[in-house]
Amino acid sequence: MREFADAILVFSLAFNPALGQSVAQPVSASEQKIEQAFLAVPDARLAGEHLKTLTAAPHIAASKEDYATAEYVAGKFKAAGLETSIVPYKVWLNFPNEVKITATDGSGKVLMTGPTPEHVTGDAYQDDPRIVTAFNSSSPSCDLTAEVVYANYGTPEDFKKLADLHVNINGKIVLVRYGHNFRGVKVYLAQLGGAAGVIIYSDPADDGFAKGNVYPNGPYRPATGVQRGSVQYIFKYPGDATTPGIASDPDMPESKRTPPENAVSQPTIPATPISWQDAEPILKNLTGPGVPKDWQGGLPFEYHTGPGGVKVHLLLKQDYAYRTIWDVIGTVDGTIYPDEWVVAGNHRDAWVYGAVDPSSGTAAMLEAVHGIGELLKSGWRPKRRIVFGSWDAEEEGLIGSTEWAEAHARHLEHAVAYFNTDVAVSGPDFSASSVPTLKQFVRDVAHEVPSAKGATVYDQWKSSQATESKGHVNNGFSEKHINARVTDDVDVGDLGSGSDYTPFFQHLGVPSTDIGSGGPYGVYHSAFDDFSWYIKNADPDFTLLQQQARVFGLEVVRMADIGVLPYDYKTYASEIEIYLQTAKKKAVEAGMKDLKFNAAMAATERFSIAAAGIQKRGQVPAADIPGFNQALLNAEHALLSTNGLPGRPWYRHTIYAPGEFTGYAAVVIPGVNEAIDAKDTTRAVEQMGLLAEALNRAATALEGAK
> What HEC string does 628-681 produce?
HHHHHHHHHHHCECCCCECCECCCCECCEEECCCCCCCEEECHHHHHHHHCCCH
Instruction: Answer yes or no: is pLDDT of 25 > 70.
Output: no
Rg, C-alpha atoms of the chain: 25
Report DSSP letters for 386-439, one per residue.
EEEEEESS-TTTSHHHHHHHHHTHHHHTTEEEEEEEEEEESSSEEEEEE-GGGH
Tell me whether strands 110-114 and 83-104 are parallel, antiparallel or unpaired. antiparallel
Which fold is adopted by the domain 2-91+323-468+497-561? Aminopeptidase (3.40.630)
pLDDT tens profile 347-366: 999 999 999 999 999 999 99
Q: How many CB atoms lie within 10 A of CB 71?
A: 11
CATH superfamily for 569-703 is Transferrin receptor-like, dimerisation domain (1.20.930.40)
**Angle at CA of residue 628, ends 30 and 567, nearest 5°:** 70
Q: Output the pLDDT for position 7.
A: 33
Q: Output the pLDDT for position 190.
A: 98
pLDDT tens profile 381-440: 999 999 999 999 999 999 999 999 999 999 999 999 999 999 999 999 999 999 999 999
Q: How many CB atoms lie within 10 A of CB 313?
A: 16
Closest residue by Cα to residue 241 from 249, 228, 232: 232
Q: Output the pLDDT for position 481.
A: 60
Q: Output the pLDDT for position 473.
A: 67
d(CA 350, CA 392): 9
Instruction: Answer yes or no: is pLDDT of 12 > 70.
Output: no
Q: Output the pLDDT for position 476.
A: 56
Which tops the pLDDT comparison, 680 or 29? 680
d(CA 163, CA 93): 35
Q: Output the pLDDT for position 705.
A: 87
Output the CA–CA distances (angstroms, integers) from residue 310 to 152, 199, 241, in the order listed.
17, 14, 35
Q: How many CB atoms lie within 10 A of CB 649?
A: 15
Q: Is the peptide bond before 307 cis (omega within 30 degrees of 0)?
A: yes
3-state secondary structure 287-349: CCCECCHHHCCCCCCCCECCCCCCEEEEEEEEEEEEEEEEEEEEEECCCCEEEEEEEEEEECC
pLDDT tens profile 227-249: 999 999 999 999 999 999 999 99
In the three-class reduction of DSSP (H, G, I as helix; E, B as strand; rest coil), residue 95 is classed as strand
Output 108-115 pairs: Cβ under 8 A, ≥24 positions apart: 111/281, 111/282, 111/285, 111/310, 112/278, 112/281, 112/282, 114/274, 114/275, 114/278, 115/226, 115/272, 115/274, 115/275, 115/278
Q: Output the pLDDT for position 674.
A: 96
Which residues lie below 8 Å from residue 186, measured CB to CB, with a gap of 6+? 151, 153, 154, 174, 176, 198, 200, 231, 271
Which tops the pLDDT comparison, 163 or 478? 163
Burial classification of residue 293, based on how many CB atoms lie within 10 Å of its CB (0-12 exposed, 13-18 middle, 19 or more buried): exposed
d(CA 706, CA 618): 10
pLDDT tens profile 369-378: 999 999 999 9
Poorest-pLDDT segment among 1-10, 249-258, 516-525: 1-10
**Quick check: 27 and 17 in contact, CB under 8 A?**
yes
Please give the average per-residue pLDDT across 10-16, as a whole number. Answer: 33
Please give the average per-residue pLDDT across 668-679, as a whole number. Answer: 96
d(CA 135, CA 319): 12
Percentage of residues of the chain with pLDDT beyond 90? 88
Q: Output the pLDDT for position 28.
A: 84
Poorest-pLDDT segment among 175-179, 219-223, 319-323, 623-627: 623-627
Instruction: Answer yes or no: is pLDDT of 18 > 90.
Output: no
pLDDT tens profile 168-178: 999 999 999 99
d(CA 187, CA 91): 22
Which positions are catalytic? Answer: 394
**Quick check: 431 and 518 in contact, CB under 8 A?**
yes
Instruction: Answer yes or no: is pLDDT of 477 > 60.
Output: no
Report DSSP letters for 538-596, one per residue.
T-TTSHHHHHHHHHHHHHHHHHHH-SS----HHHHHHHHHHHHHHHHHHHHHTT-TT--
d(CA 649, CA 664): 18
**Angle at CA of residue 682, ends 679 and 684, nearest 5°:** 65
DSSP state of 512: E
Output the CA–CA distances (angstroms, integers) from residue 288 to 165, 166, 317, in the order listed.
10, 10, 31
- CA dihedral (469, 664, 496, 577) in degrees, to 10, reads 80
pLDDT tens profile 39-54: 999 999 999 999 999 9
CATH number for 96-320: choose from 3.50.30.30, 1.10.10.410, 3.40.50.720, 2.30.40.10: 3.50.30.30
Output the CA–CA distances (angstroms, integers) from residue 702 to 83, 348, 436, 631, 699, in the order listed.
35, 38, 16, 6, 5
Confidence of residue 314 (pLDDT cuts 50, 70, 90): very high
Q: Output the pLDDT for position 222.
A: 98
Please give the average per-residue pLDDT across 692-696, as a whole number. Answer: 98
In the three-class reduction of DSSP (H, G, I as helix; E, B as strand; rest coil), residue 81 is classed as coil
β-sheet bridge partners, residue 330: 84, 388
Q: Output the pLDDT for position 27.
A: 80
d(CA 573, CA 606): 9
Confidence of residue 471 (pLDDT cuts 50, 70, 90): low
Instruction: Round the average pLDDT of the chain to a whole number and report it.
Output: 93
Domain parsing of the chain, residue ranges:
2-91+323-468+497-561, 96-320, 569-703
Which residues lie below 8 Å from residue 292, measured CB to CB, with a gap of 6+? 161
Percentage of residues of the chain with pLDDT beyond 70? 93
Which residues lie below 8 Å from residue 126, measured CB to CB, with a gap of 6+? 118, 119, 120, 527, 528, 530
Task: Give me the helix-helix angle, 681-703 and 670-677, nearest 10°.
Answer: 170
Instruction: Answer yes or no: is pLDDT of 13 > 50.
Output: no
Q: Output the pLDDT for position 637.
A: 98
d(CA 156, CA 349): 31
Please give the average per-residue pLDDT across 592-609, as a whole number. Answer: 96
**Quick check: 555 and 384 in contact, CB under 8 A?**
no
Instruction: Answer yes or no: is pLDDT of 185 > 80.
Output: yes
**Quick check: 352 and 55 in contact, CB under 8 A?**
no
Residue 210 exposure: Cα atoms within 13 Å on the Cβ side: 15
Instruction: Answer yes or no: is pLDDT of 328 > 80.
Output: yes
**Quick check: 523 and 178 in contact, CB under 8 A?**
no
Q: How many CB atoms lie within 10 A of CB 594?
A: 8
Instruction: Answer yes or no: is pLDDT of 307 > 80.
Output: yes
Q: Output the pLDDT for position 24.
A: 58
